[in-house]
Every structure is written in structure tokens, then in C-alpha cells.
Amino acid sequence: MPSLINATDLAPLPFDAYRSLPPEELATRIRAIKAEMGDALLILGHHYQQDEVIEFADLRGDSYKLSQTAAESGDCRSIVFCGVHFMAETADILTRPEVDVILPDLAAGCSMADMADLDSVEAAWSDLAEIIDVSEITPVTYINSTADLKGFCGRHGGIVCTSSNAKAVLEWSFAQRPRVLFFPDQHLGRNTARKMGIPLNNMPLWDPRLPLGGNTEEALRSSKVLLWKGHCSVHQMFKPAHIEEFRKQYPGIKVLVHPECMMSVVDAADLVGSTEYILKTVAEAPSGSQWAIGTELHLVNRLANENPDKLVKFLSPMVCMCATMYRIDPPHLAWSLENLARGTPVNIVKVPEATAHWARVALKRMLEVQ
């Protein structure tokens, strides 16, 4: 660990001292630590981050791309993850044991990930076992989930998916067993499975607050994909009416949305795809083309700035950003980096090995699926 100060038992620098620093000083101090630590430090930035943070990222991407980066990192000794908690957990699971993963603000969570917890999923699994043979079910968790749910999937022959590879993961899952339990995002599961030709009446919704998830025994027995009642609060905001309004206002505009959107929005859109797909599609679109994008606000604004020859609009009339991701800001980034350089690292995310082992199994299955 490179450090300007040799002592390793110094008290962590107090975060409050950073709140009042001007943006220029914060930027200077962040760049100084990056220069000092060199290849020993890797800053990962999720696409939903605000511009003031993403500018310092060594690499930026969606959950899948950043998971691959963490798994392949060879030189770094510390990863500072400008994302949310489950992403930092995933990085810790996939990186070498000697690598520390730091989340600048531990309060940066994910409301979707909070909609499914290990106790609820294990209770659902037990309830399902009373009705159907659970050895016929492949559990699939979206990467937006806690490490212990990834571990649950690893233990039960399951797998992790992202919005980039959800279709390939479901194909892999059905090659193993005839049914899938998909959590925590119902919309990604429904939209992906329906595109594969699975009828809606074979995709019952499991509400963990209700007996049998709110389903009849017959519905469970005829299920192909069991969907967990969870969603992304950002993508839930987009409505078909927003698409109708844009098409009236901008004739010929293309509507491009994320598969975490509701089925009615996906059906009304022209194109549907992951964050990386959205970025690639707009970047490669012809000059003068018009786009209404249904995903997180910071990403859409950045797309508009990086493609000035195209009209890029945010699909919703309401401000719709990932509030928990927004907790990562320059003061938190500077604070965590300077503590790291001093040898007093803060906010290290460490997944217990008993959980990490099985989560790693599920994640490696995901990384092997093409």
C-alpha cells in the first residue's frame, strides 16, 4: 500500500472536513491520490454516477462490464467502487483475496436489492417444495441483489444474470432444469422470458408477503418462470403515456428503454436493451437522429452531451435518477481515497468467505455464459 505517511494506525480522516471543500480542491486532491497510487488503485464508475464522479473513474460500465473488470484485475491492490453496495460486494467476491474493495459511502444501496432478502427467498423455496419438486427449479438472481442471495443461487445450482446477458442466462438455466425462480426484478424476468416465447400464464408473480406468494397450487405447478415481486424505482417511473407524448411532439423519434421497465413500456418502445446496448445504439446512430431514452437521468444527460449531433431526450417528464447511487459524490470519493493513501482505509466491503464461496460459484457461471 503506497502512502505518504508511514504510520498505519492513524485515525481515519473525518468526512465532515470534506463537505465544505470547493469542487476544484476536491478534484485536485483526488487526482493527486490517483497519481500517487498508480496501478495499485482502480476506480470503477457505474454509468448512473453523476459526471462529477465519473470523470475520475479509470473504467466505467454497467454491472456486467464492471463485474468482468473486477474479476480480471491483476495489478491493483485497491478498488474504489463508485456504485452501490451490491456492486462492491460482487467486486470483493470476484477479486483476488489481497484486494480491498472500498465503497465511498456505505449508505449507497439499491432499493431493488432490498426487495428480496435471504430469509424471504428461503421461505419461498420451502413453500414451493410443498407444491412442486424444487430440484426442477434453477434459481436466477439479477446482479442487483445481495451477496447472500447470490450464494443461495450458487448452493442450489443457480446463476446470476445482468440485463446484458439475461436471455443467455435463462437459456442456460432451462438447459439445466425445466423451471426458473427469478428474483428480485419481475420486469427484467418477464420481458426476457416473454421474448423467448414463454406465455404470461406460465409466469406467476410471487409476492413474499402472501401465502404461496399469492398464487394457487395449480398456477405454481404450471409455472415455467416464477417471478419475484420486485422492481427498480427508477425504471418503474416510465409510462406508455410518456412514449405517446414524445411521438406526438417529435414525429419519427426512436424510443429506447431498459428491460427493467414495465412490460407495457417495453411493448410500446422501438428498442429495448441493457445500459451498454443503449450507449452503443445511440453512439452508432446517424447524425440528426432523435432518441427518447427510458433509463437513469445521469446516463441520459451524459449521452446527450456526448452526442451533440443527435437529439437525446429523457423519456419521463419527472426527474428520475438513482438516488442511492447519487450518494457517491466528490467529498466521499476524496475522503475514501485520502484515507486509503494514509493507510487508514474506510468503508471496506468484505463478504464472509462462507457466503463468498457460493456467490462466486454463481457469478462464475454467469461470466462463462455467452
What domain count does the chain have? 3
Nearest to 204 by CA among 172, 179, 227: 227
Residue carrying C-alpha cell 432451462: 174
Q: Give the CA count within 13 Å in the CB-facing half-sphere of 37.
A: 27
Q: Is the pTM of this model over 0.95?
A: no
Strands (E), the chain: 41-46, 59-61, 78-82, 100-102, 137-142, 159-161, 179-183, 205-206, 225-228, 254-257, 271-272, 290-294, 311-314
Residue range 74-89: mean pLDDT, rounded:
90
Q: What is the dihedral of CA 307, 309, 310, 314, to 10 degrees?
A: 50
Does 166 lie in the same domain as 202? yes
Backbone φ and ψ of 102, nearest 5°:
-120, 135
With respect to residue 63, please indicate whether it lies within any of the assigned structural domains. yes
Does 211 lie in the same domain as 165? yes
Q: Is the peptide bond preceding residue 184 cis, with omega within 30 degrees of 0?
A: yes
Per-residue cell: 8: 498505519
pLDDT digits (tens, 9 = 90+) for 141-169: 999 999 999 999 999 999 999 998 999 99
pLDDT at 357 over 80: yes
d(CA 191, CA 272): 10
With respect to residue 298, please indicate whether it lies within any of the assigned structural domains. yes
Does 225 lie in the same domain as 127? yes
Residue range 51-79: mean pLDDT, rounded:
85
With respect to residue 3, please indicate whether it lies within any of the assigned structural domains. no
With respect to residue 194, please indicate whether it lies within any of the assigned structural domains. yes
- The whole-number pLDDT of residue 7 equals 38
With respect to residue 360, please indicate whether it lies within any of the assigned structural domains. no
Q: Using 50, 70 and 90 to split pLDDT, how confident is the model at 2?
A: very low
Residue range 96-103: mean pLDDT, rounded:
92
Does 153 lie in the same domain as 211? yes
Does 175 lie in the same domain as 103? no
pLDDT at 177 over 70: yes
The identity of residue 29, as a single letter, is R
32-46, 198-212, 307-321: which has the minimum mean pLDDT? 307-321
pLDDT at 51 over 80: yes
Does 104 lie in the same domain as 36? yes
157 Rama class: left (phi>0) / alpha (psi -120 to 50) / beta: left
Better pLDDT: 11 or 287: 287
- The whole-number pLDDT of residue 323 equals 59
Cβ atoms of 89 and 60 within 8 Å: the answer is no
- The whole-number pLDDT of residue 327 equals 82
Does 126 lie in the same domain as 71? no
Q: Pairing mode, if any, of strands 59-61 and 41-46?
A: parallel
Better pLDDT: 75 or 279: 279
CATH number of the domain where residue 255 is located = 3.40.50.10800
Nearest to 269 by CA among 259, 255, 287, 282: 255
Does 336 lie in the same domain as 295? no
If you count them, how many residues does the chain have?
Answer: 370
Nearest to 233 by CA among 164, 320, 146: 320
With respect to residue 9, please indicate whether it lies within any of the assigned structural domains. no
Does 29 lie in the same domain as 82? yes
With respect to residue 2, please indicate whether it lies within any of the assigned structural domains. no
Does 213 lie in the same domain as 122? yes
Mean pLDDT across the chain, nearest whole number? 91
Better pLDDT: 68 or 340: 340
SS3 86: helix
Q: Using 50, 70 and 90 to split pLDDT, how confident is the model at 335?
A: very high
pLDDT at 4 over 60: no
Residue range 336-351: mean pLDDT, rounded:
94
Residue range 81-96: mean pLDDT, rounded:
90
With respect to residue 37, please indicate whether it lies within any of the assigned structural domains. yes
Listed residues 206, 232, 258: the one ending a domain: 232
User: Domain limits at 151?
Assistant: 113-232
pLDDT at 64 over 80: no
d(CA 272, CA 277): 8
Q: Using 50, 70 and 90 to split pLDDT, how confident is the model at 370?
A: low
Does 61 lie in the same domain as 168? no
Cα 117 to chain centroid, rounded: 16
Give percent of the chain above pLDDT 90. 74
CATH number of the domain where residue 194 is located = 3.40.50
Does 40 lie in the same domain as 20? yes
Cβ atoms of 313 and 303 within 8 Å: the answer is no
- The whole-number pLDDT of residue 321 equals 56
Better pLDDT: 115 or 267: 267
- The whole-number pLDDT of residue 249 equals 95
The stretches of 156-307 forming alpha helices (DSSP H) are 166-176, 186-195, 217-221, 240-249, 263-268, 275-284, 297-306
Backbone φ and ψ of 249, nearest 5°:
-75, -35
Residue range 250-267: mean pLDDT, rounded:
97
d(CA 160, CA 264): 25
- The whole-number pLDDT of residue 3 equals 32
Q: What is the dihedral of CA 320, 323, 326, 331, to 10 degrees?
A: 140
Residue range 70-77: mean pLDDT, rounded:
82
- The whole-number pLDDT of residue 12 equals 81
Give percent of the chain above pLDDT 70. 94
- The whole-number pLDDT of residue 5 equals 35
Nearest to 61 by CA among 320, 280, 315, 363: 280
Listed residues 164, 198, 232: the one ending a domain: 232
Cβ atoms of 164 and 277 within 8 Å: the answer is yes
